[in-house]
Amino acid sequence: MNIVLQTDFSNTWGGVASMKGIIKSVNDSLDIIDLTHDIDKFNVFEASLSLHRVIPYWPSQTIFISVVDPGVGSERLPLACLTNSGKYIFSPDNGSLTHMKKHIAQSRIIDWKYGLRNEGSVFDGRDLFANAAALLADEQITFEELGKEYPVEYLSECEEYSIRPFLELHKTSGFIMTGNRHFGGIELNIKNKDFDNCDFDFGDKVNIVIKNNECILFDEEVKYHKAFSFVSKGKAILYPGSSGFLSLDINQGHFMNTYNVSAGKDYQVIISKKP
- Residue 24 touches its own copies, criterion: CB under 8 A: yes
DSSP 159: G
**Is residue 202 a contact residue for its own copies (CB under 8 A)?**
no
DSSP state of 204: -
Site membership for its own copies, residue 10 (CB under 8 A): yes
Give me the least distance between CB of 229 and its own copies, in Å please. 7
> Residue 159 — φ and ψ, nearest 5°?
-55, -40
The answer to whether the beta carbons of residues 3 and 111 sit under 8 Å apart is no
Taking alpha carbons only, the member of 115, 118, 135, 136 closest to residue 126 is 115
Nearest-approach distance from CB 167 to its own copies, in angstroms: 25
Binding segment (CB under 8 A) for its own copies, from list 10-18, 96-104, 106-114, 143-151: 10-18
Residue 189 CA to residue 88 CA, distance in Å, equals 27
Torsion region of 139: left, alpha or beta (phi above 0 gives left; psi -120 to 50 gives alpha): left
CA 14 to chain centre: 23
Task: Specify the stretch interacting with its own copies by CB under 8 A; choose among 77-85, 137-145, 175-183, 210-218.
Answer: 175-183
Based on the shown chain and the rule CB under 8 A, indicate whether residue 182 belongs to the binding site for its own copies.
yes
Residue 181 binding its own copies, by CB under 8 A? yes
70 binds its own copies (CB under 8 A): yes
Q: How many other C-beta atoms are found inside a 10 Å radius of the C-beta of residue 9?
A: 22
User: Which parts of 79-108 interact with its own copies (CB under 8 A)?
Assistant: none
To the nearest whole angstrom, how small is the minimum distance from the Cβ of residue 158 to its own copies? 17
β-bridge pairing 88-92 and 63-67: parallel
d(CA 42, CA 19): 18
Stretch that binds its own copies, among 55-63, 88-96, 147-155, 169-177 (CB under 8 A): 55-63
Name the site residues for its own copies (rule: CB under 8 A): 1-2, 4, 9-14, 16-22, 24-25, 28-29, 31-38, 41-42, 50, 53-59, 61-62, 70, 73-74, 122-123, 126, 180-183, 227-229, 242, 252
